[in-house]
Amino acid sequence: MGDWADKMVPKSVGNKLPRILCLEDNLCDRELLELTLTQEGIACEFVHVKTKADFEASLIQSTFNLIISDFTLPAYDGLSALATAQKIQPDTPFIFVSGTIGEERALASLKGGATDYVLKDRRDRLVSAIQRALHDGQERAERKQLEEQLRQSQKMEAIGQLAGGVAHDFNNLLAVIQGNAELALMKGAELSDQTREFLKQITDASGRAAKLTRQLLAFGRKHTIRLESLNLSDVIGNLSKMLNRIIGEDIRLRCSYEGLSFVRADAGMIEQVILNLIVNARDAMPNGGQLLVSTKMVSIDELYAQLHSEARVGQFVRLSVADTGIGIPAENLARIFEPFFTTKEVGKGTGLGLATVYGIVKQHQGWVNVSSRVGEGTTFDIFLPATEAPADTAGMSVAEPTLHGGNEKILLVEDDDAVRLMTKRTLENFGYQVLEAASGRKALELWPSCASDVDLLLTDLVMPDGINGRELAERLRVQTPGLKAVFVSGYSSNAISKDTDFLNRSENRFLQKPYHSKALLEVVRNCLDTAQL
């Protein structure tokens, strides 16, 4: 067939042969078509139909790479078949093969969407037409897939921007809630036990809410993971009470830990992974069942890595969540990590839970395996790189650090009134003198009258009026070289700007909202006490 024909030989997709739907009532013509392609070395899977009902049913039930149809059929005509195919599978190439076809009907078929038409006695022409149609159809399918991936990427980017913005604003609210509750707790002896307990519940709840906003920021790629040495067994143990409340009384939860299970991970993100998988398992067991959450150190070898595309050789901790639920059908298993894919009824699921699990695990250099049988249950196995257990600190008492204040003068620049007021009160409670400005421009206007007295600039990084925190600090340092600064934001440091080296300079610090009062005081004191390089 030559070089051109070789390029036209259809490729199998996922080890599946190209599928051809053949609408032909003549048995000899059907057999001749298959024989012709076989002799030319073109392997295909044929589905033969000869009636309108069977043709339409096949189009609805299955997807095909090519449709071949006779032009004249008993009680059915080719143009009607073409119109039906264009409605049900518009992207599938369609070739007419007929004993005779006039010029007028040939033009009508092409206008109707047919890819080509071939006379039955032109076997050489038939082969090349089929090769070209399969090749072009495959290229069109690949192009459509790329376009869909681009649309999905753009959609996720837009959602990420929205999630990041919501999290940023929510962090401001949390900073106010958490900060004022902590200010009230500082009253100590003046509070009743009940009031102290209420305030403690507020600070605990705001801390959990802050973890949720970290997930939103991570989803929008506006938050870096905070790696620390974690024992996954301890994480699960700490969550166990909450897990029992989530799954309900008709599901039996069992936890199993084998050996050490230390990883370098973000605690909040790992908790989110576990909770999402637990909720997913609960929903798969509407009539109750058993749920096993386990950890185990495993060694991945070359053979396993070859059989699992995302796996790597080395030591890993396997976190498994196994249920005895309804299972996942094979046709859905390949799509469960797609954002917004859900089989739950409207209002019962967003389709983001497993997508978030997959994204977090990938951020931690791990992977997820899923096995499921309909009617028997599903197991999610998450593999995370193992790390050495930290030095044993058992028995060592760690004293609560003493919070030190001072009498230095601080210029506080924050556009959110409530956050600014809470921060000012916290600093003044510990002896600091606070000057405040609601924007970068107002801070510049205030600076000439206080430049000689200010010891530290405490500023939000993202502010209105065209001057952000970094630009403000740079302008003030023109007049006061070496001015120390603490930058604050509801975004993470790396989401503010690609150039974040300035945050690592000795005169700069970064604090992410929402922050505890002691974190604010420690950062301020540390920045003030650090000598200039």
Task: Give the residue extent of every domain in the chain.
Answer: 2-146, 156-219, 228-385, 409-529
Residue 494 · residue 486 · CB < 8 Å: no
pLDDT (0 to 100) of residue 412: 96
- pLDDT tens, per residue, the chain with 533 residues: 444 334 444 444 444 688 899 998 888 888 888 888 888 888 888 899 988 999 999 999 888 999 999 888 888 888 899 999 999 999 899 999 887 777 777 788 888 888 888 887 777 788 888 888 888 888 888 787 777 667 765 665 666 666 666 776 777 788 888 888 888 887 777 778 888 788 888 887 877 777 666 656 655 555 556 788 999 988 898 888 788 888 888 999 999 988 778 999 988 889 889 988 999 899 999 999 999 999 999 999 988 887 777 889 999 999 999 999 999 888 788 778 776 566 665 445 555 678 778 878 888 889 999 999 999 999 999 999 999 887 654 444 444 455 678 899 999 999 888 889 889 988 998 899 999 999 999 999 999 999 999 999 999 988 888 898 989 999 999 989 889 999 988 765 544 554 455 665 656 788 888 878 888 898 999 889 876 54
pLDDT (0 to 100) of residue 372: 92
Report the Cα 213 to chain-centroid distance in Å: 14
Distance in angstroms (rounded) separating the CA atoms of residues 163 and 161:
6
Report the Cα 147 to chain-centroid distance in Å: 19
pLDDT (0 to 100) of residue 2: 40
Strands (E), 325-444: 367-373, 377-385, 409-413, 433-437
Residue 320 · residue 298 · CB < 8 Å: no
Strands (E), 110-198: 116-119
Distance in angstroms (rounded) separating the CA atoms of residues 115 and 134:
10
Distance in angstroms (rounded) separating the CA atoms of residues 453 and 411:
10
- Of 183, 213, 199, nearest in space to 492 by CA: 213
- Indicate the CATH number for domain 409-529: 3.40.50.2300
Based on the number of CB atoms within 10 Å of its own CB, is 42 exposed (0-12), middle (13-18) or buried (19 or more)? buried
pLDDT (0 to 100) of residue 164: 64
pLDDT (0 to 100) of residue 377: 94
pLDDT (0 to 100) of residue 74: 80
Dihedral sign (CA 163, 169, 170, 172): positive
pLDDT (0 to 100) of residue 502: 61
pLDDT (0 to 100) of residue 143: 82
Give yes or no on whether 228-385 and 409-529 have one common fold: no
Peptide linkage before 481 cis (omega within 30 of 0):
no
Give pTM, 2 decimals.
0.44
2-146 has CATH 3.40.50.2300 classification: yes
The first and second tokens of residue 515, run together, are 């922050």
Residue 481 · residue 470 · CB < 8 Å: no
Which DSSP category does 120 fall into? T
pLDDT (0 to 100) of residue 118: 84
228-385 has CATH 3.10.350.10 classification: no
Residue 22 CA: distances (Å) to CA of 90, 344, 436, 490: 16, 37, 78, 61
- Of 495, 519, 522, nearest in space to 168 by CA: 495
SS3 content of the chain, % helix, strand, coil (to 5): 45, 20, 30
Residue 166 · residue 216 · CB < 8 Å: yes
Quickly tell me which residue has 């600064």 as its tokens.
485
Which DSSP category does 502 fall into? G
